[in-house]
Amino acid sequence: QVQLVESGGGLVQPGGSLRLSCAASGNILSVFAMGWYRQAPGKQRDLVAGITSNGSTNYADSVKGRFTISRDNAKKTVYLQMNNLKPEDTAVYYCHADLVRNYVRTRGDYWGQGTQVTVSS
């Protein structure tokens, strides 16, 4: 069994900061790319930021210069530091991991349960 558990969401004023964390646990052999997606009401789920196992990153244009993704491979954890938050950043943020399960040696996409981020004054 594999789980991705997110934490760190909440309510913040415009211009504020939040840090999201997502830890992968269970029978995991290897973790490849990890990332954060978000979904606002009535909209599709979009990539916010991604990071490969060797640390290469990519960002949505709307968050470049404000958000930073990082990871701790030993802890199988990915982070998203969000600065200068704007109301349009309000969404449910989902953690994603591309990983290989131990024993069965199957590779697949796994998702967290989502954490709400609300930016409002």
Residue pLDDT, tens place only, 45-104: 999 999 999 999 999 999 999 999 999 999 999 999 999 999 999 999 999 999 999 888
Cβ 51 vs Cβ 73: under 8 Å: no
Q: Is the pLDDT of residue 12 over 90?
A: yes
pLDDT of residue 105: 85
| For residues 19-47, average pLDDT | 97
Average predicted confidence (pLDDT) for the chain: 96
Residue ranges of E strands in 1-121: 2-7, 10-12, 18-26, 28-39, 46-51, 57-59, 67-72, 77-82, 91-101, 107-111, 115-119
